[in-house]
Amino acid sequence: MATLALENPAALLREAAQGLRAGTLAPYVGPGVSALAPHAAPLSPEALAEFFATKTALPKRARGNCWSAAQYIESTRFRDTVTLWLQEAFAQAVAPSSFHAWLAGLGLPLIIDAWYASEMRAALMASGREDWAEVQGITRAHIGEDQWYRFYEAAGEPCNAVRAATMKTLLYTPHGGIAPAANFLITDADYVEVLTEIDIQTPIPEEVRQRRTGMGFVFVGCPFNDQLLRTYARQIMKRSSARHYAVVDVARLTRNEARFLEEQNIAAIDMALAPALEALMA
């Protein structure tokens, strides 16, 4: 494993908490936050791959990889089946955690939710705030539209980028989400199409690009053990601040994960996730 320069976790958490409260840091929330509590929905790429395996026999190359599994299902049973099974996987709502609720109350300019369960949206709805909008990544498979994302108001009604730009908080769900309209970026083909363009930033909404300028990110509950997830994070971080934070178990990082943190100047907060979240909210 690559050697990371480690700083005091408590000091890093204080910096991250101060930045979140000041709105100079944006949370990048992965499924690991919700996975701290039991839920029926799959809350990791591996768990989603296991769910797909319960629905159909997968070839060896697709086992354990949700993106490849979804691609196989699309190629053998069509896209509608992929969407139907994802709706089934996330049919039982994932209740927002106290951390999601805390973020919802901060009035942050930008929040990234990097999974499909839509619990960050639910937390914003439960907050009673109406000064927020969401932009979701979408598949372009079979929709007959030349666009990469869709905007939604707090109530779930579609809106445009101009309207979303007026909102205090923008929730960005780059992979899509079960709510409000079951948009899912999930198959290998979906991501090949996006990754072909993402170096020039086209699939990332302009309003996200504007709000991230000069802002750092705080990664919590985010797996980086997949090249696709690292690539997405790297592109979303472009032209942002030079300093970021991630709550990770350093001893369990792979060489690629450690190299990613080092290359992106992400300070590793070497701490278990649950106490780290409590410290951030304190």
pLDDT tops 80 at residue 268: yes
Query: What are 28-39's pLDDT values in tens digits?
Result: 999 999 999 999
Which positions ≥6 away from 160 have C-beta within 8 Å? 151
Euclidean distance between the first and the last CA atom of the chain, given in angstroms as a whole number: 33
pTM: 0.95
Average pLDDT, the chain: 94
Over residues 225-247, the mean pLDDT reads 93
- For the beta carbon of residue 125, count every other beta carbon within 10 angstroms: 19
Over range 107-118, report the average pLDDT. Answer: 98
Longest dimension (CA), the chain: 51
pLDDT of residue 65: 96
Question: Of 246, 272, 252, 263, which Cα lies nearest the Cα of 35?
Answer: 272
Contacts of 166 (CB under 8 A, 6+ apart): none
Share of the chain above pLDDT 90, in %: 89
What is the total residue count of the chain? Answer: 282
So what's the pLDDT on residue 162?
96
Question: Does the structure show a pLDDT above 60 at 142?
Answer: no
Query: Is the confidence at residue 185, as pLDDT, over 50?
Result: yes
Using CA atoms, how far apart are residues 266 and 278, in angstroms rounded to an integer?
Answer: 20
Confidence of residue 81 (pLDDT cuts 50, 70, 90): very high
Lowest mean pLDDT among 93-97, 145-149, 211-215: 145-149
What is the arithmetic mean of pLDDT over 179-191? 95
| Distant-in-sequence, close-in-space partners of 171: CB < 8 Å, separation ≥ 6 | 111, 113, 120, 121, 124, 132, 133, 134, 135
pLDDT computed for residue 1 by the predictor: 46
Domain extent listing, the chain:
9-281
Return the amino acid letter for 211: R
DSSP 93-116: --PPPHHHHHHHTTT-SEEEE-SS
Give the pLDDT mean for 256-261: 95
Which of 26-35, 139-148, 244-253 has the weakest average pLDDT?
139-148
